[in-house]
A = this chain, B = another copy of it.
Amino acid sequence: MTDENRPSTDPYKGVRDFYPEDMAIQRYLFDTWAVTAESFGFERYDASVLEPAELYRSKAAENEEIVNEQTYTFIDKGDREVTLRPEMTPTVARMVAGRRRELPLPLRWYSIPNLFRYERAQRGRLREHWQLNADIFGTTDQNADVEIIHLAASIFTAFGATAADFEIKINNRAALTRSIEPLLRPGARLNDMLKLLDMKPKMELERYREEEMKLLTEPFETHSEVPSEVASVLAALAALGVHNAVYEPTIVRGFNYYTGTIFEIFDTNPENRRSLLGGGRYDNLTALFGGEPVPAVGFGMGDVTMRDFLETHDLLKSIPEKLKPGPRVTVVNDGAATVEDAARVAALVRDRGVNVSSNLSDKKLGDQLKLAERSGATFALIIAGDTKMELKRLSDRSITRGELAELIPHMQ
């Protein structure tokens, strides 16, 4: 076969292969997300990555740019326009709206979907990532805002982070509107000012002031007092032991659908100043599907930023043993026992709840032990012709001898 006919071993541009060692980290993220969400009584849902494209036209989309330029949208063979979901919120709003009458509100729901954005390749950014999405549907009560932020903070502590490692910045869309509207020049639009404010951290201050003065009659005072909606959320979080939350008047979250509390979590490490998580209240989104709207508050956090955070704070060392790839024990056979004997002994060990593999080919014992070590096994169980066996810890080569029943407890 010529080189030109060979398919590449690379994945598609901008997506990742997860070899076992990366998959173990990915599962650690997902398991910690799931366990923490469920500790708050959240239930898991899911949906397909394929959605009708119409779902993202209209206010259901968080961001116009994403809909117009950054989605994977194609026409299927039945002339339907299909999109690979760029975010989960429109999907979950669709699902809740579809069963609004039967579902037991309030709902606490979470999901760990993969999302697609078609970003320009030269930016070097990923086109697929995974995200924890958690939402409470069916109540306008501020206690739901507090609970969803409490959950977000608890996820960081579940990974071993301390309150000093991250900061929760909170604002409120209604308060933002109240303070901006009196300042708007005639004809200037609130949304334009929100967009500008959202861009502020990425702009030079002089340029920002210039643009601001086109929209407002006087500078928007970002050091004004804490709005009452934010103050009460901060107080309730403090009562629950969450003390690393602050009011941040420049948090806007540039999305169409937020209506109340909005928040983001930032890494406090100066080398990793990225937003790690963002969310807020969106009470009107399900109205797009008809009928009375179901109020909602939720957030999303991505796997890539989460992993960066864990690496920055040296928190990946705590991956539990059971998530490490590879078997706990590999059964190897010396000359007197066969490969088939090894498979039978492995089946007995497995029945006792130990993850175990066995040697598959006729090889010298030394070569089998080397393979066992490379496979990531913690122990090799060496069987000979009789019932006495040797359990060898591969890290320090220490050996325990005995019959199988005696050795099982040493494998745990």
Contacts and interface: CB of A to CB of B under 8 A. Distances in A.
Contacts of A326: 41, 43
A371 interface: yes
Interface stretch (A3-11, A187-195, A274-282): A3-11
B375 A136 contact: no
B356 A41 contact: yes
Contacts of A39: 350, 353-356
Given A7-B54, A54-B7, A356-B41, A13 B78 contact: yes
Contact of A48 (B6, B16, B78, B356): B16
Contact of A327 (B24, B27, B41, B72): B41
A20 B47 contact: no
Interface stretch (A104-112, A198-206, A404-412): A104-112
Given A38-B355, A343-B146, A288 B48 contact: no
A48 B15 contact: yes
B344 A128 contact: no
Contacts of A20: 43-45, 109
A82 interface: yes
A27 B44 contact: yes
Contact of A347 (B38, B51, B240): B240
A289 B340 contact: no
Interface in A72-111: 72, 74-78, 80, 82, 94-95, 97-99, 104, 106, 108-109
A2 B7 CA distance: 49
Given A43-B326, A327-B41, A10 B288 contact: no
Interface stretch (A137-145, A214-222, A388-396): A137-145
A376 B358 CA distance: 43
A57 B49 CA distance: 24
A257 B116 CA distance: 32
Given A12-B82, A344-B239, A361 B139 contact: yes
